Amino acid sequence: MIKRKLVKFAFASYIMLTLYFLWGWNAENTTRETSKEMSETIKIDELHLDTVSTTAPKKPPLILYWGKAWGINGPDEGSLMDGCTLTYNRSKISDAIAVVFHFTMINKNQIPWQHYRDKKQIFVWWCGEGPGYFGKDGLREFDGGFFNWTWTFKRSADVLRYYGSRKEALTFVKKGKRAIDDLWGVTRCSGTNGAIKRMEYYKALVTAGLSITTFGGCFPDVENIPKQYPMLFEPKWREHKFYLAFENAIHCRDYITEKFWDNALKNDMVPVVWGPTKDDVLSVAPLNSFIHTDDFDSPAKLAEYLQFLDKNDDEYRKYFRWREDETMTDKKMIRMTQERYPDLNIELTPKSLCARLLENKETKIIPSVTDEFITSETPECLS
């Protein structure tokens, strides 16, 4: 009896041990499978992390304007220039790749500089006035290496800030004219030798019999034309055939302002140029788009030619052929100008300040803004 019980106990124990080992084996395999699945899940998650970027989008480079030109003129806060963002927020100076100073927004009392400045930042001197505006020593306060770049109308500047260009002008194609006289607006009648001389030339044209419609502060009792940018005249003004693009400076290098680009070309008038040299105008302007006073022996001869064009529409229309050619591009016009004037240094399509900054690899220092902007000019320009 006892022997039988022992046999039963042994058999039961064997069954229990078998069940225990089977359960243990299944549990171990289950754990291994679970671990394997977890490992594969982690690898899949890692794979997803590799394919989904967690990096924040790169912000556009920042250009800080240290105020607006004359305190009123400038781009809007947050506006874009190519791939750069513009700001007037001076607290962001440490984030800016460049700081732009219009000459009216900085003076000698701010130098030495008391604000943040990184050695890699580009400090830019910005000016749209002619050298004669300052006189021979008017910029001495900016000498000494404070600035890195100049941003002006001069083609010798580090960045060309032009008043206009062939490429822009080509977007304004107009046809048809009905007027018989010229248009001229001027607000600076004196102050520089250039301002005085251009008034003398204008009076000589009138004496020679040329009919000229005038506006601006230099002419009392005339209809006022509100200033705007760009200067787009009302239809009654745009019917004039010619615009006297007379600058307030004589032979100042590359000084060709809105009088030529906006007041004349964008308003469908032929610019009659006085002030810059003819070569300077040819280097940047659309081919056969203007009349230059240097081509005439006297104001009377110019008046005679303008009156001739007024009566001969086919001859007058020659100054618009560049605009009426639908296949005309900036590159094509540059090539045509180079073929016509092979010895002339033709200005190619200029790059923006942002584009120049993004390609820049070094930090230049300007020892003397005076030498860069004024000393290199002719006595005529500075008189």
How confident is the model over 178-183, as a mean pLDDT? 44
How confident is the model over 171-194, as a mean pLDDT? 53
Measure the CA–CA gap between 253 and 332, rounded to whole angstroms. 25
The better pLDDT of the pair 170, 100 is held by: 100
Please write the tens of the pLDDT for every residue from 185-228: 555 555 567 788 888 998 999 899 988 887 766 766 666 665 65
| Whether the model pTM is above 0.85 | no
| pLDDT confidence tier of residue 57, bands split at 50, 70 and 90 | low
Determine how many CB atoms are found less than 10 A away from the CB of residue 11: 10
Written as six digits, the tokens of 154 are: 């001069």
Pairing state between β 84-87 and 80-81:
antiparallel
How confident is the model over 94-113, as a mean pLDDT? 93
Please write the tens of the pLDDT for every residue from 226-251: 565 556 666 666 778 899 999 989 99
Q: Does domain 166-340 have CATH number 3.30.70?
A: no
Q: Where in the chain is the domain with CATH 3.40.50?
A: 166-340
Please write the tens of the pLDDT for every residue from 284-317: 999 999 999 999 999 999 999 999 999 998 999 8
Supply the pLDDT for residue 17: 34
Sequence-distant (6+) residues with CB within 8 A of 3 are none
Measure the CA–CA gap between 40 and 30, rounded to whole angstroms. 15
Supply the pLDDT for residue 223: 64
Measure the CA–CA gap between 334 and 340, rounded to whole angstroms. 10
In the chain, what is the straight-line distance between the N-terminal and C-terminal CA atoms, in Å? 139
Measure the CA–CA gap between 199 and 217, rounded to whole angstroms. 13
Strand segments, DSSP code E, in 131-203 are 149-152, 159-160, 182-185
DSSP-derived secondary structure for 6-59: HHHHHHHHHHHHHHHHHHHHHHHHHHHHHHHHHHHHHHHHHHHHHHS--SPPPP
Written as six digits, the tokens of 21 are: 């080992």
Supply the pLDDT for residue 341: 95
Measure the CA–CA gap between 277 and 264, rounded to whole angstroms. 18
User: How far from 340 is each of 168, 169, 265, 273, 282, CA to CA, in Å?
Assistant: 22, 20, 22, 20, 10
Residue 88, burial from CB neighbour count under 10 angstroms (0-12, 13-18, 19+): middle
Classify 213 as helix, strand or coil.
strand
DSSP-derived secondary structure for 234-282: -HHHHT-SEEEEE-SSSS-TT---HIIIIIIGGGT-EEEEESS-HHHHH
